[in-house]
């Protein structure tokens, strides 16, 4: 269907309500959709597309707001989730986030001072639309959906704007600092990819003295027309993080300022949290933290864990066999919490896919699961050093024989000594058989710890691992792998060694 032109939209606005309804398409007709510009609090022009079901009457539509993932653009045709929402009687407004697509301004990484205020401006804009359902106080009925960058803005906006009534964030973060640098170890690969992608799609004209522009110019020599730009703070933060192989306080504070963790006490709307076990950018731990925080506030919350998420660009494709279930699950959530249909069953508070089957639980971890503990003893002289150098040591500790299903929390503890001031090691749960060793959901947890060089005293180190799921078949073992390096991270840059004692691992099986 061809999109309506702005001139046609203007003509519709000039018509009376009666004339509009008389000319409205029948219920079986295609939806109406057209572009609009919303002017935000600071004059920034936001590009939006508004979707209205055919035959919509005044005061009939809850509206769902959707933006896009990092470095993307809004959905501009009634497909996918947008199409299913329209078919279920919702209006939808999609928009290009500040600095991306056709919107102006600088990308500020979902800042409460910018992108969150953009959401509020969009909601205010919707109050003048006659089809929008209004509450008794005149506020519109508003939901939000979308994943990754579009998930983060939902949680943040819900903390600041009480007009938001329900949200459904997918594959997003709780603590952006911990997501990008777990235990203070920066994700070199992901942060490099994100910075480059953001620079390419936002600040497309390199400007003298602009570090982001310089990054973009190195990626592509094409002189695109610019509509926005990525704040140069992001390139500066990147340089600080990877120059020091740490997260300086300024960067940590900036990331926490953009994290739902900081505002969790203010997020009290019905929230459907969708996260993927194999997601190595924003792992399941992040969704669980959001889930527990929102539950503690007394708001309805649901945790829906599947086999998709952010795929590693150099890794295997994710199974993602449940992707088609996401849209109807979101619509169902909104039917209950936006339309207020008490007959709608949104299912158990926790639904998750583990060991090849869907499971339901009242909480996470599943009360039907059981905890397991293994004490491995000691590992002498585990080499440390720059990523490009070596040698490096890797050890595999057998834990349990299959058949069983791994699903839920895990942790490690050990005592460490060595000749450096600190150590960095990488831990993972994996399935091992005659065909090799496969890390569960590709999830590896870096652990950074301080040492007392030249001393026989040891340092006690404890760390949670990433929530994972995996089937451990017969003739296979669940194992714990320990390594000094990983392709996606900077390891310890100072050559040396660490000794481990009293290594213990805990994990959960069904």
pLDDT digits (tens, 9 = 90+) for 355-396: 999 999 999 999 999 999 999 888 877 888 765 444 456 778
CB 185 within 8 A of CB 448: yes
Among 12-26, 121-135, 153-167, 434-448, the minimum mean pLDDT is found in: 12-26
Q: CATH classification of 6-175+268-361, choosing from 3.40.50.1010, 3.30.720.200, 3.90.25.10, 3.40.50.1820? A: 3.40.50.1820
Q: Judge if the upstream peptide bond of residue 307 is cis by omega within 30 degrees of 0.
A: no
How many whole angstroms separate alpha carbon 59 and alpha carbon 128? 11
CB 437 within 8 A of CB 489: no
Domain boundaries, the chain: 6-175+268-361, 182-255, 370-509
The most confident of the ranges 27-36, 189-198, 365-374, 453-462 is 365-374
Can you give the pTM of this predicted structure? Answer: 0.89
pLDDT interval class at 67 (50, 70, 90): very high
Q: What would the pLDDT profile of 328-339 be if each residue is shown by its tens digit?
A: 999 999 999 999
CB 467 within 8 A of CB 284: yes
More confident residue, 80 or 15: 80
* CA atoms within 13 A of residue 426's CA, in its CB half-sphere: 25
How many whole angstroms separate alpha carbon 331 and alpha carbon 353? 20
**pLDDT value of residue 380:** 79
**Under CATH, what is the fold of the domain 370-509?**
Jelly Rolls (2.60.120)
DSSP states of 276-291: ETT-SSS-HHHHHHHH
How many whole angstroms separate alpha carbon 391 and alpha carbon 414? 22
**pLDDT value of residue 200:** 82
Taking 3-state DSSP, the helix, strand and coil percentages for the chain, each rounded to the nearest 5, stand at: 25, 30, 40
More confident residue, 240 or 5: 240
How many whole angstroms separate alpha carbon 440 and alpha carbon 428? 7
**pLDDT value of residue 27:** 43
Question: Measuring CA to CA, which residue among 273, 237, 425 is closest to residue 351?
Answer: 273
CB atoms within 10 A of CB 460: 11
């Amino acid at each position: 269907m061809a999109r309506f032109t702005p001139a046609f939209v203007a003509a519709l606005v000039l018509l009376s309500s009666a004339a509009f309804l008389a000319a409205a398409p029948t219920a079986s007709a295609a939806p109406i959709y057209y572009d609009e510009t919303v002017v935000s609090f600071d004059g920034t022009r936001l590009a939006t597309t508004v979707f209205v079901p055919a035959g919509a009457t005044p005061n009939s539509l809850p509206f769902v707001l959707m933006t896009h993932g990092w470095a993307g653009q809004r959905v501009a045709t009634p497909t996918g989730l947008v199409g299913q929402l329209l078919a279920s009687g919702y209006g939808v407004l999609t928009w290009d986030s500040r600095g991306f697509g056709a919107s102006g301004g600088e990308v500020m990484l979902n800042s409460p001072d910018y992108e969150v205020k953009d959401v509020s401006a969009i909601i205010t804009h919707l109050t003048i639309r006659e089809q929008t359902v209004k509450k008794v106080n005149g506020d519109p009925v508003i939901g939000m959906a979308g994943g990754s960058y579009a998930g983060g803005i939902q949680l943040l906006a819900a903390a600041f704007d009480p007009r938001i009534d329900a949200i459904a964030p997918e594959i997003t973060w709780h603590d952006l600092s911990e997501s990008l640098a777990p235990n203070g170890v920066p994700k070199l690969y992901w942060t490099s990819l994100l910075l480059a992608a953001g620079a390419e799609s936002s600040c497309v004209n390199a400007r003298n003295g602009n570090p982001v522009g310089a990054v973009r110019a190195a990626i592509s020599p094409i002189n695109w027309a610019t509509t926005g730009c990525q704040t140069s703070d992001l390139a500066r933060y990147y340089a600080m993080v990877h120059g020091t192989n740490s997260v300086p306080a300024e960067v940590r504070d900036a990331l926490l300022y953009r994290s739902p963790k900081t505002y969790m006490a203010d997020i009290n709307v019905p929230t459907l949290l969708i996260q993927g076990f194999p997601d190595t950018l924003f792992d399941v731990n992040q969704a669980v933290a959001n889930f527990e925080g929102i539950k503690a506030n007394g708001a309805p919350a649901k945790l829906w864990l599947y086999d998709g998420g952010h795929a590693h660009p150099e890794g295997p494709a994710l199974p993602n066999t449940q992707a088609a279930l996401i849209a109807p699950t979101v619509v169902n959530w909104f039917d209950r919490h936006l339309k207020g249909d008490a007959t709608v069953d949104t299912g158990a508070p926790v639904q998750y896919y583990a060991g090849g089957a869907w499971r339901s639980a009242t909480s996470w971890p599943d009360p039907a699961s059981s905890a397991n503990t293994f004490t491995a003893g000691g590992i002498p002289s585990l080499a440390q050093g720059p990523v490009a150098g070596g040698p490096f040591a890797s050890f595999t500790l057998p834990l349990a024989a299959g058949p069983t299903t791994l699903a839920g929390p895990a942790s490690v503890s050990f005592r460490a000594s060595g000749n450096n001031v600190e150590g960095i090691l990488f831990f993972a749960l994996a399935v091992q058989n005659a065909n090799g060793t496969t890390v569960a959901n590709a999830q590896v947890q870096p652990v950074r710890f301080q040492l007392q060089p030249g001393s026989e005293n040891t340092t006690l180190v404890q760390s949670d691992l990433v929530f994972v799921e995996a089937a451990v078949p017969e003739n296979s073992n669940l194992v714990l792998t320990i390594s000094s390096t990983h392709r996606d991270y900077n390891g310890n840059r100072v050559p040396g060694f660490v000794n481990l004692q009293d290594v213990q691992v805990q994990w959960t099986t069904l």
